[in-house]
């Protein structure tokens, strides 16, 4: 008598849960990148939809101890530092010049991060390896859409606009999302497809005329080369480099303004002038989202610096910079300890995110937070899906 197929013995709720989980994942890593090349707002609708679908799928398909996993994840040193940073952001609402709009932005940021953290904590320890291809498909399709749109309509460049135009934003988004997609393909040993995807992303960055995206891609490619040779050393060096840049930037600019003020650009000269009048604000900052609101209201000159190095110090002060530097070091260290080849691509992803944040206004925009959260979800899916990277050999016939 033939044994019944195990597939037919599964609970229908389990089947529905697996379907919901994969559908939610597809919404986040396929639909969201494509939608982000077409609309500024659609990603903020798709993120909670996809996240809630994944959480519902896990609850139906598995008995994963979500609360225990979440408690264990939040007890890690990096998580505790992240929580302290969020508390500091919330506390800064008491002294920000723009409490109402800044409070709304802070709430949206907290909600976005919380949703993705819960999804990652709820994910089963092992996911199906076929899920690893979803991010690559979504990123490739988004790149093709970005190239098509850039070729079909003229770019409207506004040099002093607070937000990047939509095509340029799409290029920066793809620059971040390509690394978890490449990491998933590398884990599955699909290097040919990975090469085609990388070429498509470079083509998209060129089509949308984003210099920052091209520089970030180059920095990520360099990081991959360094990490493939020695991931632990690369993680330590790059983490220390970006942490040093964050902590030392004000001191270096202040010193340069005293020794060779003519060598500073207009934006850096404005930052040096701001440093002169900081006082206690150098420690506390002006409050979360103060830089962005300052540019919009004339509180800060529009020609001022826009990157994360200025924004972190202006908004959150020395305390925020210290917490941010610690998180950078911990993130690079964690990435360096992952199994190869994923470690190299996660180090490249962190490098790219850091370069994009330093070189563009994206650091204080909610879309950047959303895309970084989606990239973290993609990496987490790959980590849980790499336990079996090749099909087992068939048993020899007797």
Q: Which tens digit of pLDDT belongs to each residue from 266-321?
A: 777 777 777 777 778 889 999 999 888 888 887 888 777 888 999 999 999 999 99
> Computed from CA positions of residues 234, 239, 244, 245, in that sequence, does the dihedral angle turn out positive or negative?
positive
- Residue 210, Cβ density class (10 Å: 0-12 exposed, 13-18 middle, ≥19 buried): buried
Nearest to 182 by CA among 133, 112, 238, 231: 133
Query: Measured between alpha carbons, how far is 25 from 370 in angstroms, rounded to an integer?
Result: 15
CA distances from 295 to 29, 100, 269 (A): 32, 16, 16
pLDDT of residue 158: 40
pLDDT of residue 9: 47
pLDDT of residue 397: 38
pLDDT of residue 217: 96
Spatial neighbors of 185 by CB under 8 A, at least 6 apart, are: 132, 133, 136, 191, 193, 194, 197
DSSP state of 93: G
Farthest-apart Cα atoms in the chain, separation: 89
Helices (DSSP H) in the chain: which residue ranges?
6-9, 12-26, 32-36, 42-61, 66-74, 77-91, 99-122, 132-152, 166-187, 191-207, 211-229, 231-259, 266-276, 281-284, 290-297, 308-336, 342-359, 366-385
Q: What angle do CA 51, 55, 61 make, to 5 degrees?
A: 140
Residues of the chain under the 50 pLDDT cut: 1-4, 6-9, 155-163, 388-398
> At which residue do the structure tokens 């490098």 appear?
351
CA distances from 139 to 97, 127, 148, 215, 337 (A): 39, 20, 14, 19, 26
Give me 170's structure tokens.
């799409």
> Computed from CA positions of residues 125, 126, 132, 134, in that sequence, does the dihedral angle turn out positive or negative?
negative
pLDDT of residue 129: 80
Query: Measured between alpha carbons, how far is 200 from 190 in angstroms, rounded to an integer?
Result: 16
Question: Which phi and psi (to 5°) does residue 280 adopt?
Answer: -65, -25
């Amino acid at each position: 008598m033939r044994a019944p197929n195990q597939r037919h013995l599964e609970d229908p709720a389990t089947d529905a849960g697996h379907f919901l989980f994969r559908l939610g994942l597809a919404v986040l890593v396929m639909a969201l990148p494509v939608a982000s090349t077409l609309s500024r707002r659609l990603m903020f609708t798709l993120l909670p939809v996809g996240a809630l679908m994944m959480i519902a799928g896990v609850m139906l398909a598995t008995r994963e101890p979500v609360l225990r996993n979440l408690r264990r994840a939040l007890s890690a040193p990096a998580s505790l530092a992240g929580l302290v940073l969020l508390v500091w952001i919330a506390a800064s609402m008491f002294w920000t010049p723009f409490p109402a709009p800044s409070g709304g932005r802070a709430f949206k940021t907290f909600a976005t991060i919380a949703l993705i953290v819960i999804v990652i904590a709820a994910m089963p320890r092992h996911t199906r390896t076929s899920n690893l291809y979803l991010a690559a498909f979504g990123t490739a399709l988004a790149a093709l859409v970005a190239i098509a749109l850039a070729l079909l309509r003229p770019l409207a460049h506004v040099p002093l606009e607070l937000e990047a135009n939509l095509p340029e934003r799409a290029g920066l988004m793809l620059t971040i999302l390509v690394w978890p997609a490449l990491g998933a393909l590398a884990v599955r040993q699909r290097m040919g497809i990975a090469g085609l995807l990388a070429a498509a992303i470079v083509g998209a960055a060129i089509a949308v005329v984003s210099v920052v995206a091209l520089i970030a891609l180059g920095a990520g490619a360099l990081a991959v080369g360094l990490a493939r040779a020695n991931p632990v050393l690369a993680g330590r060096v790059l983490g220390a480099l970006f942490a040093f840049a964050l902590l030392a930037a004000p001191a270096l600019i202040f010193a340069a303004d005293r020794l060779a003020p003519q060598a500073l650009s207009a934006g850096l000269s404005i930052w040096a002038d701001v440093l002169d009048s900081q006082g206690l604000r150098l420690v506390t900052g002006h409050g979360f989202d103060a830089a962005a609101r300052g540019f919009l209201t004339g509180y800060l000159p529009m020609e001022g610096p826009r990157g994360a190095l200025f924004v972190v110090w202006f908004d959150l002060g020395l305390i925020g910079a210290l917490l941010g530097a610690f998180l950078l070091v911990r993130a690079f260290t964690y990435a360096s300890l992952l199994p190869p080849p994923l470690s190299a691509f996660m180090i490249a992803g962190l490098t790219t995110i850091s370069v994009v944040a330093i070189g563009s206004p994206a650091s204080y925009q909610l879309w950047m937070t959303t895309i970084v959260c989606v990239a973290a979800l993609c990496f987490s899916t790959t980590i849980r899906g790499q336990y079996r990277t090749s099909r087992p050999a068939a048993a020899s016939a007797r």
